[in-house]
Amino acid sequence: MAEIQFSRGIKEDIVPEVRLTRSRDGQQGTATFYFQNPNILDKDSTDEITGMYLVDEEGEIACRDVKGKFVNGQPEGIEAIHVMKSQEDWERFMRFMERYAEENGLGFSKA
**pLDDT tens per residue across span 87-110:** 999 999 999 999 999 998 887 666
Domain assignments of the chain as residue spans, ordered by start:
2-104
| pLDDT for res 111 | 61
Query: What is the CATH number that goes with domain 2-104?
Result: 2.40.30.220
How far apart are the C-alpha atoms of 51 and 6, rounded to whole Å? 5
| pLDDT for res 35 | 97
**How far does Cα 84 stand from its chain's mean position?**
13
| pLDDT for res 7 | 93
Report pTM. 0.89
Strands of 10-11's sheet in order across: 10-11, 2-7, 52-56, 59-63
pLDDT in tens, 56-82: 999 999 999 999 999 998 889 999 999
Instruction: Give the DSSP H/E element, type plus range, for residue 20.
Output: strand 17-22
| pLDDT for res 43 | 77
The 10 Å Cβ neighbour count of residue 91 is 11
pLDDT in tens, 16-51: 999 999 988 878 999 999 999 999 988 777 788 999
